[in-house]
Amino acid sequence: MFEFVTTRLMQGFLSGIGLATLFYFYPIMKHLLNDKYRRKFQISEFGKELFKIETIKYLRKGLIYGFIYGALVGTVIGPFGAVLGV
């Protein structure tokens, strides 16, 4: 039972890291590619701080969504890619 719980937690943790990285890079890529989005932070008095807060916000969302996704996929697929799962 302990192995079952730890594998589910590890799957959720690793999925959370992967999705959090994607979510973290979303505002960075949008900032690089979209001039209108970039100007929103350049006009603001605290533009750099607001951009840091936004990237951290997306990082948090990615961790939460990734952990939930990993826990669900781990439950459906099962440990080590078993076909039947739980």
Domain ranges in the chain are 9-78
Print burial letters for 46-68: b (CB count within 10 Å at least 16), e (below 16): eeeeebeebbeebbeebbebbbe
On the question of pLDDT at 84 being above 60, the answer is: no
Tens digits of per-residue pLDDT, 32-81? 888 888 787 777 788 888 888 888 888 888 778 777 777 776 666 655 55
For the cut 60, the answer to whether the pLDDT of residue 82 exceeds it is: no
Residue 78 has what pLDDT?
58
d(CA 53, CA 55) in angstroms, rounded, equals 6
pTM: 0.61
- The per-residue pLDDT for 85 is 47
